[in-house]
Structure 1
Amino acid sequence: MSANHAAFNLIFRFVENYVSPIAGRISSQRHVMAIRDGFISAMPFMIVGSFLLVFAYPPFSPDTTWGFARAWLDMAKQFEGQILTPFDMTMGIMSIYICAAIAYNLGKHYVKSHQLDPFMCAMLSLMAFLLVAAPKTKGTLPVDSLGGTGIFTAILVAIYCVEMMRFLKAHNIGIRLPDQVPPMIKNSFDLLIPVLVVVVTLYPLSLVIQSQFGMLIPQAIMSVFKPLVSAADSLPAILLAVLIGHLLWFAGIHGAAIVSGMLQMFWLTNLGANQTALAAGQPLPHIFMEAFWTFFIVIGGSGATMGLVICYLRSRSAHLRSIGRLSVVPSFFNINEPVIFGTPIVMNPVFFIPFLLAPMVNAVLAWAAMTFDLIGRVISVVPWTAPAPIGAAWALGWDFRAAILVVVLACVSAIIYFPFFKVYEKQLLEQEAEEAQRSAEEDNQQVA
């Protein structure tokens, strides 16, 4: 037992002294925060667009004879173009929203220090992104690079434009107008020089890449990041992300927020590729996306604590039983702060192993199920508060085999947690018995 405690203390000190400070600095870094908040701001467009994609491609076999399914398939086929138009204007051009949202959120960090206007930052970034990702060709704007393939470019362009505006402001480079001029007019004139700088820097670069490599900047950047995207979709990368996120959580840092913020760009790139493949009638290439994390790995919240809540509901300990009753409904909606802090799990050596092991086992089982086509793959953005079985089925285009898998994974998590739960329950029962005995002795003394 002492050896186990020594090992736990060694791991905890390493996380606390080395991992946590680095993670804390990363999570509070302004560019990382802007990227995270930008993705969150664009989420409503992606959720609505994903819902429409599922509606356009019903989850039924083309030769089905079931009345409801047949009617849905026929209607979807007849009105496919009309249904997909809103999808094309939401998910299909999601990089536009992401670029503008990241620039806006990054610009907010410089409002006080450099007097930047976040709205103007968003406008400039939007223009710059369209300039390099959708140059006018034969009277039309190509949209191929405005979806998932343009995400990395959208991030880089947004950061470049805002930082360039900050540099110009810091060095007083711009058109100065009298103080009597209204602020909106001054802000619009402040944008003249940044627009000029963007045109004379990004546009020539775009032309050179087009002439030398026959591709747009987003396509070139995507080719560079392609190995990284492929690596991020592998099982080792998934397990590493789960491990880091839960080590941070165990040390008291919201690891899920940090890890998801870093992975969001890869998740959306993978999602865009899956949606493109679905529309083309091709096999879906990717597994690791936000819905995979939320509804298959961390069922009930970080640590896959739905399994632990199930154990708590039958506990002989009054404390754990009350935590279970308080946590069961929030856990159903993937909110597990009551069980995380009510147990507590943070910095509790008894739950260190299952808190890491349960989500990693879930990841392996869910990854295997998708790899061997036992269930489908993610094609939709789903609100993370959707109940896990429903959210899983929704994310996979209403593949209800996913809901069954989620129930199985929750039971697996409960099995993993059970022996550690019994150890902790025994400790609490002893404490509760001691407290009851002490209380009885105090009552007897008062009576005497």
Structure 2
Amino acid sequence: MAHFDGLFESKAMQKIQEYGGKLQTNKAFSSISSGMMGTMNLILAGAVFTIIATILNIAGVLETTDPVYQWLQLPYKMTMGVMAIAVAFGVAYTYTKNLEMKGEVANGFVALFLFLMVASPVKSVTLADGSTMNALDSSFLGGTGMFTALIMPLIVVRIIKTCQDRNITIKMPDSVPPFLSDSFATLIPLVINIVLWCGINTLVQNTMGTTLPGAVIGVLSIPLSVLISGPGIIVIVFIAMLLWCLGIHGSAVAFAVLIAPHMAAYQANAELVAAGSAPVFSAVFLFSGLACCGGTGNVLPLAVHCMRAKSEQLSAIGKAGVIPAIFNISEPLVFGVPIMYNPLICIPFILNAVITTALLWLGFSVGFFQPPYVMILTALPVFLGEFLGSLAWQNLFIPVVGFVVGYLCYAPFVKMYDKQCLENEAAQAAEMNAE
């Protein structure tokens, strides 16, 4: 580990650590981190039920169409599937506290309501029996709506604070209960926010035919469509991981571009195998390099590093996230560390995915890794997806490459972040003792 110590003490790494520390103390960025970390219990609960369902499916006990399997997946759909709603509330709540404002709960609900308004406006749908009902589209309530859920509450709370600072509020007598007083205090800012966000969303819907979160993903996916090649996929992986670090579901952005050639490549290979021929390589297969060992960002080695960390925060997150990571569920670590807007972890998060993808390209090019021909669209434990997709023993080494690269990339950065977490924990302990 001596080489890691030298890297840790280098001027470049010290600058990164200093910048990361400043970013984490910024009121807006710390609110984003706290808002995500506050959803850890929901994420873990959803992951547990998903793991149980996956194990029973692999063992042949349940089919994906069985009612029991669907019941086990319900907690996932109502936790990680609508995680952006909880994040919108959490970011607004924490940002209100960081700005030393009153009405944290009221502002949290305002941000939650406004996020639902732009991400999932009510639609009237016709059922099979001919009846109609109002429904909310959940397409952008999970990871695909995360960027909007992270940034929108900051703007919402800032508008409320501006109104309060300029006395553009309804003030109630001191005898009125705080929760009721806070609600009236946010009424005028709420109306302003409704007009603003409803106007923006209506404009986006009329011009682009989608909601605000959908427009973000749609716009970002346009320039990626020209990158369907070996080097191009590496660039796409880099952009996807960078977007993840900014709170945008980078995998969804990239897959919006790759889904058509991805399905076509699998279909062509399935037909070749059925005809007795060997499957052929397509560059789109390289996209799995960003999630071959622990889910998005190859976070299984990150979980190992966190388990060995000295800080209570990282140690607890590592222990909680390692089992989901084995099942290629990355959310507990992505939200718990957190990775988004955390430069110390964003760097290896991006770097390991890019290097792994490049090494997979080399492995396919020399004929060691075998092209897949069975499309698997569900999360499976590490090793299982790579093997079942190709039925080739060589592809069992794909997660091994991801683990080794990830372990080396995460090592020095987790050490720096662990030091920061220890300092924060010591400061909090000293503050509590002083009180």
Q: Of 21, 26, 44, which aligns to 2:23?
A: 26
* Cα distance change on mapping 1:184 and 1:405 into 2, 3 Å: same
Residue 97 of structure 1 corresponds to 86
Q: Of 38, 42, 51, which aligns to 1:41?
A: 38
Residue 99 of structure 2 corresponds to 110
Return the letter of the residue paired with 1:262. C
Residue 185 of structure 2 corresponds to 190
Residue 74 of structure 2 corresponds to 85
Which sits farther off after the overlay, 177-186 or 90-99? 177-186
**What is the CA–CA distance in structure 2 between the aligned matches of 1:415 and 1:81, rounded to whole Å?**
39
* Cα distance change on mapping 1:332 and 1:210 into 2, 3 Å: closer
SS at match of 1:140: strand
- The answer to whether the 8 A contact 1:98-1:154 is kept is yes
Q: Deviations over 1:246-267 (max 9, x none)?
A: xxxxxxxxxxxxx999355446
* 1:227-238 mapped onto 2 (5 Å cutoff): 235=234
- The answer to whether the 8 A contact 2:49-2:75 is kept is yes
* 1:65-214 mapped onto 2 (5 Å cutoff): 68-69=59-60, 71-73=61-63, 77-111=66-100, 115-138=101-124, 139-214=134-209
Q: TM-score, normalised by structure 1?
A: 0.55
Q: CA offset at residue 226 of structure 1?
A: 3.2
Determine whether 1:220 maps to 2:222.
Answer: no
For structure 1, the residue ranges without an aligned partner over 5 or more in a row are 62-67, 243-258, 307-326, 335-356, 381-389, 417-448
**What is the CA–CA distance in structure 1 between the aligned matches of 2:398 and 2:79, rounded to whole Å?**
30
Return the letter of the residue paired with 2:152. V
SS at match of 1:137: strand
Q: CA offset at residue 301 of structure 1?
A: 1.4
* Cα distance change on mapping 1:47 and 1:82 into 2, 3 Å: same
- The answer to whether the 8 A contact 2:32-2:91 is kept is yes
- The answer to whether the 8 A contact 2:140-2:213 is kept is yes
**What is the CA–CA distance in structure 2 between the aligned matches of 1:414 and 1:187, rounded to whole Å?**
48
**What is the CA–CA distance in structure 1 between the aligned matches of 2:52 and 2:388, rounded to whole Å?**
10
**What is the CA–CA distance in structure 1 between the aligned matches of 2:90 and 2:296, rounded to whole Å?**
25
Q: CA offset at residue 125 of structure 1?
A: 0.4
* Cα distance change on mapping 1:76 and 1:362 into 2, 3 Å: same
* Cα distance change on mapping 1:332 and 1:47 into 2, 3 Å: closer
Q: Deviations over 1:380-403 (max 9, x none)?
A: 6xxxxxxxxx9846999999x999
* Cα distance change on mapping 1:228 and 1:46 into 2, 3 Å: farther
**What is the CA–CA distance in structure 2 between the aligned matches of 1:35 and 1:201, rounded to whole Å?**
22
**What is the CA–CA distance in structure 1 between the aligned matches of 2:397 and 2:138, rounded to whole Å?**
38
**What is the CA–CA distance in structure 2 between the aligned matches of 1:92 and 1:332, rounded to whole Å?**
19
Return the letter of the residue paired with 1:93. V
Residue 331 of structure 2 corresponds to none
* Cα distance change on mapping 1:127 and 1:193 into 2, 3 Å: same
SS at match of 2:39: helix
Q: CA offset at residue 109 of structure 1?
A: 0.3
SS at match of 2:102: coil
**What is the CA–CA distance in structure 1 between the aligned matches of 2:288 and 2:42, rounded to whole Å?**
21
Return the letter of the residue paired with 1:87. Y
Return the letter of the residue paired with 2:304. G
For structure 2, the residue ranges without an aligned partner over 5 or more in a row are 125-133, 267-284, 310-314, 323-350, 410-435
- The answer to whether the 8 A contact 2:298-2:402 is kept is no
* Cα distance change on mapping 1:167 and 1:412 into 2, 3 Å: closer
* Cα distance change on mapping 1:413 and 1:241 into 2, 3 Å: same
Residue 347 of structure 1 corresponds to none
Determine whether 1:301 maps to 2:301.
Answer: no
Q: CA offset at residue 83 of structure 1?
A: 3.6
Return the letter of the residue paired with 2:74. T
* Cα distance change on mapping 1:159 and 1:234 into 2, 3 Å: farther
**What is the CA–CA distance in structure 2 between the aligned matches of 1:296 and 1:103, rounded to whole Å?**
31
Which sits farther off after the overlay, 362-371 or 20-29? 362-371
Q: TM-score, normalised by structure 2?
A: 0.56
* Cα distance change on mapping 1:286 and 1:407 into 2, 3 Å: closer
**What is the CA–CA distance in structure 2 between the aligned matches of 1:28 and 1:371, rounded to whole Å?**
47
* 1:256-405 mapped onto 2 (5 Å cutoff): 262=245, 265-266=248-249, 287-288=289-290, 291-293=295-297, 295-298=299-302, 300-301=304-305, 373=372, 392=382
